Amino acid sequence: MAVNLAPPDPARLHRVAGVDLGVAMVNIRKPDRKDLLVMRLAKGAQVAGVFTRNRFCAAPVTLCRKHLKNPIRALVVNTGNANAGTGVDGLRRASAVCAALAAKIGCKPQQILPFSTGVIMEPLPVERIVAGLPQALKNESDWFCAAQAIMTTDTVPKAASAAVKLSGGMATVTGIAKGAGMIRPDMATMLGFVATDAKVDAAKLRAVCRRAADASFNCITVDGDTSTNDSFILVATGAGPAASSAKDLALLERAVTEVARRLAQAIVRDGEGATKFVTVRVERGRSLAECRRVAYAIAHSPLVKTAFFASDPNLGRILAAIGNSGIEVESLRLYIDDVLVAARGGRHPGYREEQGVAAMKKPEFTVRAVLNRGKAEATVWTCDLSFDYVRINAEYRT
């Protein structure tokens, strides 16, 4: 049940020169579905990444952090099994996958980045993954198929493209992501991969990667849980024009952020059991951190999110969530869409209950909190919490 989210049009997903994609079916968890992706990169490609802040991180996350010190030649992604909570054995299994792929494409195991998503605390089926590598390397796939191959509880594949004119010519940016549950802004989403054919210095690419994540994946929450496997990777193959000037780099960062934001919002729209897409905007705070604290207090609250699901403008729940943020709220003005519902610590005299109900019945609406304490602002995106969220997660392993 995705909120105003259709599958991407494969024809609008642009090929990125220097990235070769291949998928395979290896039956990791569910039969007859794409569940293995290999992304081969041209020599000289620069790669940057940010990862989960969950201290119980998965084996592939540990390896990726180490391997990023080397020139990266390929990414390998499996769905159906997270290889998290698997200890030393999990590291051995992830390393075995890296070694097998490296042997097939002629590079070192340390030049492979592994990624896994799925059920936690189950051993990674290395034999099936290794057996599927030849198929993935042989099958020339597109970004749409790649997006399908990394899905778990997603109902829709998530992919987006953009083009940007640099001084040396047109550059392409294309990305895919997966995620529908265990989504909280403590790095990024479950898995996200964005590639550009632009040529970018390694240090500058790392900065672009961090800022793009902060403006997109770090602004979403479905259920307030941080995954053990969260990874966001940005690749610059160098097969296209160089982003050498400050202007070029700014234009490229804008395009990367646009793609990342579209992917991040798609994750919220496809949140497990979601029926509402909600923008939470906090304005006139003293700092970005303060505004985000208030926004997350609203967006993480189960009581607020269940009220969203019921189209119930239970203002007390929203005000209580804001109060739990620890921010002074004497001058707070609270809006649902354009309807002023609360001011100066209580219900606005002109507010009528039917106005709030009408706004919250829409599949998309905005909760806006004006703090009147400064000039900073922040926006996060979230969804409601429905009966189906409980059902999906109760049945996840059955």
Q: Which residues are catalytic?
A: 189
- Alpha-helical (H) ranges within the chain are 59-67, 87-105, 126-138, 143-149, 202-214, 246-269, 288-300, 302-309, 315-324, 353-360, 387-394
d(CA 192, CA 179): 9
Q: Taking a C-beta distance cutoff of 8 angstroms, is the pair 116, 141 a contact?
A: no
Which residue, 381, 149, 397, is CA-closest to 271?
381
For the record, the structure tokens of 314 come out as 């239970």
Tell how strand 74-81 and strand 191-196 pair up.
Answer: unpaired
Q: At 237, is the secondary structure helix, strand, or coil? A: coil
| DSSP per-residue letters across 140-188 | -B-HHHHHHHT-SS-SS-EEEEEEEEETTEEEEEEEEEE-SSS--SSSS
| DSSP per-residue letters across 377-393 | EEEEEEE---HHHHHHH
Q: At 201, is the secondary structure helix, strand, or coil? A: coil
For the record, the structure tokens of 109 come out as 């195991």
d(CA 142, CA 9): 11
- Total Cβ atoms within 10 A of residue 395: 8
Q: Could you say which DSSP state residue 106 is in?
A: T
Say which residues have a Cβ less than 8 Å from residue 32's Cβ, sequence separation at least 6. Answer: 25
Which residue, 239, 186, 240, 237, is CA-closest to 213?
186
